[in-house]
Amino acid sequence: MEQHILIEDVSPSIDCGRYPVKRVAGESCVVRATIFRDGHDIIRASVKWRRESARRFADAPMSPINPGLDLWQGEFPLEEVARYVFTVEAWTDRYASWLADLKKRVDAGYEDVRSEVAEGLALIAEAEDLAQGEDRKALEAARRALQAAVANPRQAHAAASSPGLLERMGRLQPRLDAVSHPSKFEVHALPQRARFGAWYELFVRSQGTEPGKSGTFLDAERRLRDIRDMGFDVVYLAPIHPVGTTKRKGRNNTLQAAPDDPGSPWAIGSERGGHTAIEPAIGTIKDFDRFVDAAKGLGMEVALDFAIQASPDHPWVKDHPEWFYRRPDGTIKYAENPPKKYEDIYPVIFDTSDREGLWEELLRTVLFWIGHGVRIFRVDNPHTKPLPFWEWFISKVHEERPDVVFLSEAFTRPPMMKALAKLGFVQSYTYFTWRNTKQELADYLTELTQSEMREFFMPNFFTNTPDILTEYLQKGGRPAFKVRLVLAATLSPSYGIYSGFELLENVPVRPGSEEYLNSEKYEIRVRDWDRPGNIKEFVARVNRIRQENPALHHLTNLKFFPTDNEQILLYGKVMPDCSNVILVAVNLDPLNPHHCTATVPPEEIGVPPGGGYEVCDLLTGARYTWSRDNYVRLVPEVEPAHILRVERRF
């Protein structure tokens, strides 16, 4: 049989189905495709879908949403955290095509349609032979009713058009010329935390109260309630493994360490163990398990740092020397990013003769921590490792635990960042940290939300990290911290801060550097977490606003609105039914007041053209009456932003 039907432009898909798209479990996956055939026969289509582990496909109907362009749409449920496979199938609905032809003849006044009715009777009989039970009985009765009406064209058409008959014929008639798209497309249904969450990064050893003495998991556990009260969902720990002593770095990254300097946690491994061991100064695996349980008891999850590197003292160096690069003089090459040198760290080489052993050891490492309750991993510098490794590694982990979230810490070229997201990294660090102007933010967020990236790139906006103290935070004072917090927390469903942000820590090691002075990467810090001037209450308020407003739980519902001042950014997030509408206005200049006219087309937020609405500033409680054009003035030292919720329309 010749193929008459074409199926094109199936979405969602990434690189023609090469990689899975990302969605969240509990929602539906909406599928679209261009479907057409030659001639005038009527076609039907469906989404064929199944869990990746299942054998049989289920069937979800598709309907035309733009007949003029032959665009069809259907959807299927993502009931649990898992990987799903789908494709699109289309076929000729011979009964509907016959019925449409019969109607034309009846409407044209034909007095004899017995020959045409005979064709319809044959189609019903064909479906009747395949049916069972009540369906078979109903089809038999419908066939007899049509036969009885054969002499009267209009009665015959009415009998052939009965709703019950149409439903059964659509479901039961054979799909003789069914065509499936040649590709199978994948969807990774992820846990809610993959899309929405507030991260708090800390060093366990800096959670104590005694200067010069390492904090422990018990000290960190005592801080959990304070972190929870600020509204954070994820507690991300810098490496917790034994720290090497060879070539240990001193304070502020000096080459010579004092006897009491703890070294960098990223110099992983000592005689006490490697990536599956814990630094003795901060506790034991039993203490870690207790910490994880305590976090879960407060509604938080623990994220671990996964850095594929070793100190010179790591057991891997002795047991697997082939995993490291040796210079001609026999010494092992340490990590470098000129002019920076990391003599305390050996990078692992993936072009090793023991490729299988290395890959399996790294998989074993992550599975070990999964066994101790960890479901989130922040991966250090994944762009310096081979892409085939990550695709294999993440897929192997997801075979056992599809709910595990991997965050890619790859501040590198856009194609590499995108490739890592496509092949399996659930979340990604972004360039948000360095996007400060109105145009920069609008352009970058438009790319994230409106391009193909929306299908696979789930951003996590960090305001700062142990390596990144931006010039904006160094020079902008208290308002700058509030501005960056509001932007991160409301532009992206997932965002994070590195501890000390709430205390407004902003002193660089030297002018022009993004490194912190007295960085806790190289020393134990003791802080007064309630010291005067902190913005903990502001952080808690913003996180509470996020929790209470579902529009902020999504990324692709972002809309930018015009203002006549380049220092004021205005944007909104709107639920599809407009049940929750959030408008955010931010003064991007932390040093000076600014005002503007902010234009919000009412129809964009569910307000009739020409209508007005009342908004409540969720940061201050103030209420305003808004319409299309609105006056906004923001004084940084008072409050540099509005987070407005539409409360009432009129």
Give yes or no: residues 372 and 444 share one domain.
yes
Chain Cα centroid distance, residue 323:
33
Co-location of 31 and 169 in the same domain: yes
- Is 266 part of any domain? no
* Last residue in a domain, options 506, 521, 552: 552
Question: What DSSP element (H or E) covers 396?
Answer: helix 387-400
Average pLDDT, the chain: 97
Tokens 């018990």 locate to 218
| SS3 category, 168 | helix
- Look up the domain containing 168 and give its range: 5-189
3-state helix, strand, coil in the chain (%, to 5): 35, 25, 40
Do 540 and 638 sit in the same domain of this protein? Answer: no
342-355, pLDDT tens digit by residue?
Answer: 999 999 999 999 99
Q: How far is CA 495 from CA 5, 202, 408, 463, in A?
A: 46, 15, 13, 8
CATH assignment of the domain containing 362: 3.20.20.80
- Mean pLDDT across the stretch 155-171? 96
Which of 520, 552, 584 marks a domain boundary? 552
Q: Are residues 381 and 499 in the same domain?
A: yes
- Compute the distance between CA of residue 346 and CA of residue 320 in angstroms, rounded to an integer: 13
Residues 507 and 588 occupy one common structural domain: no
Residues 57 and 152 in one domain: yes
Question: How high is the pLDDT of residue 521?
Answer: 97
According to the model, what pLDDT value does residue 646 have?
A: 98
Interval 520-547 mean pLDDT: 98
Catalytic residues, by residue number, are 380, 409
Q: Cα 115 to chain center, whole Å? A: 59
- pTM value is 0.94
Which residue type does 498 have? Y
Statement: residue 309 has pLDDT above 80: yes
158 and 303: one domain? no
For residue 1, pLDDT over 80 is answered with no
Q: Evaluate whether residue 317 is within a structural domain.
A: no
Average pLDDT over residues 433-440: 98
What pLDDT band is residue 366 in, cutting at 50, 70 and 90? very high
Is pLDDT of 108 > 80?
A: yes
Give the CATH number of the domain where residue 12 resides. 2.60.40.10
562 with 600, same domain: the answer is yes
Do 489 and 523 have their domain in common? yes
Q: Where does the pLDDT of residue 341 fall: very low under 50, low under 70, confident under 90, or very high at 90 and above?
A: confident
The DSSP result for 274-287, as a single string, is: STTS--GGG--HHH
Task: Establish if 14 belongs to a structural domain.
Answer: yes
Phi, psi of 334 (to 5 degrees): -90, 170
The enclosing domain of 584 has a CATH number of 2.60.40.1180
Question: Does one domain contain both 101 and 131?
Answer: yes
Nearest to 313 by CA among 368, 273, 356: 273
- CA 520 to CA 509: how far, in whole Å? 12
> What's the distance, Cα to Cα, between the start and end of the chain in Å?
61
Name the token pair of 391.
Answer: 């695709």
In a domain, 246, yes or no: no
What pLDDT is recorded for position 337? 80
Rg of the chain's alpha carbons, rounded to an integer? Answer: 31
Residue 267 inside a domain? The answer is: no
Please tell me the distance from the alpha carbon of residue 292 to that of residue 204, in angstroms, as a whole number: 13
**606 near 578, Cβ under 8 Å?**
yes
CA distance 553 to 425: 20
Residues 564 and 543 in one domain: no
Residues 6+ apart with CB under 8 A from 27: 78
480 within some domain: yes
Picking from 163, 189, 215, the residue at the C-terminal end of a domain is 189
Count the Cβ atoms, other than its own, within 10 Å of residue 345. Answer: 23
Residue 256 belongs to some domain of the structure: no
What sections of 410-470 are H helices per DSSP? Answer: 414-423, 438-450
d(CA 552, CA 489): 8
Mean pLDDT of the region 440-463: 98
Is 121 in the same domain as 52?
A: yes
pLDDT at 104 over 80: yes
User: If DSSP codes are grouped into helix, strand and coil, which group holds residue 31?
Assistant: strand
pLDDT in tens, 214-264: 999 999 999 999 999 999 999 999 999 999 999 999 999 999 999 999 999
483-492 residue pLDDT tens: 999 999 999 9
Using DSSP's 3-state secondary structure scheme, residue 3 falls into: coil
How many domains does one find in the chain?
3
588 in any annotated domain: yes
